[in-house]
Chains A and B, each alone.
Chain A
Amino acid sequence: MENRAIQQITPLQRALGTVFRALNFLLKIGLVVVFVFPFLWMISTSLKTYPESIAYPPSLFFAKPQWENFVMVWNSGDYLRYARNSITVTLTIIALQTLVSVPAAYAFARYKFRGGALLFGIVLVSFMVPTQLTFISVYLMFSKVSMLKTLWPQILPFGANAFGIFMLRQSFKQVPEELIESARLDNAGEINIMFRIMLPMAKSSLVAVTMFSFIGHWNDYFWPFVMTNTDFIRPLTVAIAQLRDSEHGNQWQLVMAGNVILVLPILIVYVFLHKKIISGFVYSGIK
């Protein structure tokens, strides 16, 4: 089979193959530039002086790294509190979501119950409704129960993650039935089966979903912006956006330094987990 395929290749096909490979490579380089350049721009700007940051024509390079930009940003407000708010909100959301998504996905994947398909449909639909449609009513709800001065308006609306339920359900569905039957014969209860048998097999999906959710909520700007009235409960994203409209004009080097502070935790987590995240998405596509 392979031999015959090799014999049939003509010089024209070989030339086309080379051209195709070159194009393929260029396209990948192009993609890398598109994604990496803004990132480099952010880091370089965060280390510039103010005149350098507004210089025209702009330059990617700076004369001398201005590390004090970071110190200035950190001291311009109660950044420790903002960071703590961001961490509390994001981690609580992740914990709640895991607590809700795993059993929900297990039930959707493994049990047949009345209304199950309808319920799963509702979960999927809720995944498609943009938050911009719901934020006013949610805000009013929290105002009625006088929770606007707490972190809860940033946490509770995200307690269930429809995308996470969907992803986990798909990977639970791929676990062969015999494994569960075998566990039942081994005298395992449902909770035991869910956490000791099913969840380890869906580990990649769980990590991917958690990472996605973590990045999404850590970087979320819109929701905390509309749900917070005082600095006391604001997260990093909202605080850093405020650097921009301070009275002395746009201090881009400071805004960018703030952004670097913001994305640093995500970068650290990603470095440790990126293999798991990628395999989570790859395996969910293959049976």
Chain B
Amino acid sequence: MAKIELRNVSKRFGNTVVLENLNLTIEDGQFAVLIGPSGCGKTTVLRTIAGIGPQSSGQVLMDDQDISDLPPGKRDLAMVFQNYAIYPTMSVRDNIEYGLKNRKVPAPTRNKLIAEISEIVGIAPYLDRKPAQLSGGQRQRVALARAMVKKPKVFLMDEPLSNLDAKLRSQMRVELIELHNHLKTTFVYVTHDQVEAMSMADRIILLNNGVIQQEANPREIYTNPCNKFTAQFIGAPQMNILPLPGSDMSFGFRPEKVTLTEQAPDAFLKKKARIITREMLGSETLYQLRFDKQSIMVKSLSDVFLPGTDVYFSLRKEDILLFKRDENRLYPQEDGYGQALAAAGRV
């Protein structure tokens, strides 16, 4: 168990700056998810913590101790790689045992640990197999077991579920949450999949171009994004963002906050629009609407509206988020909020 802290960490590959003066604290026992589009630096952050891709400058601290110069093997952390990185020439048992042997853990302790961990992750029957004889899900478990057996203070995971099929992925998601609750260790998890981030994280750290856009719990990041990027990155379909009439600001709303009606309703914002497409998702239906050369996505529980027909869409005042010219949120307590909101209502 440990707190991880990055102080002014920069990383350059040749002339490319990936991270610049990044500051980040991950609290002890937290399930922290680093998320962002490809190339945003999330894997670089993870590798910096692991020590396998050392920072160009800055410090990495674990429990307030500077570990910047410690080699990866001495950092008391374990990593699960995207492609699992299981040693193909070793049996499952040897894979799990390798790290322990290198730490000179005595054989009876090793055997006890291997028996215990392989039971927890459910690979006990496969200990003598070679990795090539295992399925993707089983390999994933071997990689997990290899990390767990070291009883590290911090688990680092680099998109560990992205090579699994959809069904197995949702199953492993639940198992990882249970594992975290059981171990109460710090987890740092990298993904580009917002479903994984939303479902597992205590804290989401959203990165773009090496800069932290927002750090918050999933609920906060979804309902209260601090800028346009966060608002549009989290949530599917993404948040609708429209220009605010008569200004250089914009306003946004989630597709599921829109109400569709055939008759003009009495609402804060209402507008007539044409339905362009309809996608049935089962419990919900997605509509694409067009009005005044703009288009928005609507997620509705009703599937009665047909493409080509006109409908009214409406929004409540509290479901509208305002964004300033610099793409940051305009919060209710700030100057000009009321005026801007009123402008949104007149769209």
Contact = CB atoms under 8 A, between A and B. Distances in A.
Interface stretch (B74-82, B181-189, B192-200, B275-283): B74-82
Interface stretch (A42-50, A160-168, A178-186): A178-186
Interface residues of A, number: 17
A3 interface: no
Interface string B26-63: 00000000000000000000000011100000000000
A187 interface: yes
B99 interface: yes
Nearest to A200: B89
A181 B72 contact: yes
Nearest to B77: A185
B73 A188 contact: yes
B317 interface: no
A197 B50 CA distance: 20
Given A181-B72, A182-B79, A187 B103 contact: yes
A57 interface: no
A184 B88 contact: no
A130 interface: no
Interface of A: 176, 178-179, 181-188, 192, 196-197, 200-201, 203
Nearest to A188: B102
A182 B144 CA distance: 12
Given A187-B74, A187-B102, A188-B102, A176 B85 contact: yes
Contacts of A200: 89-90
B102 A192 contact: yes
5 contacts: A181-B81, A182-B85, A184-B72, A186-B98, A201-B89
B87 interface: yes
Contacts of A183: 87, 98
Contacts of B90: 200
Contacts of A192: 102
A185 B87 contact: no
B94 to A, nearest CB: 9
A118 B156 CA distance: 38
A181 B150 CA distance: 16
B8 interface: no
A185 B78 contact: yes
- Count chain A CB atoms within 10 A of each CB in B83, B85, B90, B103 and give the residue with the most: B85
B73 A184 contact: yes
Contact of B73 (A179, A186, A201): A186
Contacts of B265: none
A31 B99 CA distance: 51
Interface of B: 50-52, 71-74, 77-79, 81-83, 85, 87-90, 98-99, 102-103, 146, 150
A187 B74 CA distance: 7
B52 A185 contact: yes
A184 B71 contact: yes
Nearest to B98: A186
Contact of B87 (A179, A184, A203): A179
B102 A185 contact: no
Contacts of B150: 186
Contacts of A186: 73, 98-99, 102, 146, 150
A185 B95 CA distance: 13
Of B77, B88, B103, B146, which is in contact with the most chain A CB atoms at under 10 Å from its CB?
B88
A182 B73 contact: no
Given A178-B85, A201-B88, A201-B89, A188 B98 contact: yes
Contacts of B72: 181, 184-185
A86 to B, nearest CB: 33
Given A185-B78, A201-B88, A176 B102 contact: no
Nearest to B152: A185
A188 B98 CA distance: 9
A184 B52 contact: yes
A176 B86 CA distance: 10
A188 B103 CA distance: 9
Nearest to A203: B89
Question: Nearest 10 A-B pairs (CB), nearest first?
Answer: A187-B73, A186-B99, A200-B89, A178-B85, A182-B85, A187-B102, A181-B52, A184-B72, A178-B81, A185-B72
**Which of A184, A201, A203 has the most C-beta atoms of chain B within 10 angstroms of its own C-beta?**
A184
A197 B83 contact: no
Nearest to A197: B87
A202 to B, nearest CB: 10
A187 B50 CA distance: 12
A88 B81 CA distance: 47
B73 A178 contact: no
A8 B17 CA distance: 56
Contacts of A179: 85, 87
Contacts of B74: 187
Nearest to A196: B98
B73 A185 contact: yes
A182 B146 CA distance: 10
A179 B89 CA distance: 11
B81 A182 contact: yes
Nearest to B89: A200
B82 to A, nearest CB: 8
Given A181-B85, A184-B71, A187-B103, 16 more contacts: A176-B85, A179-B87, A181-B52, A181-B72, A181-B81, A184-B51, A184-B52, A185-B99, A186-B98, A186-B99, A186-B102, A186-B146, A187-B74, A187-B99, A188-B98, A197-B87
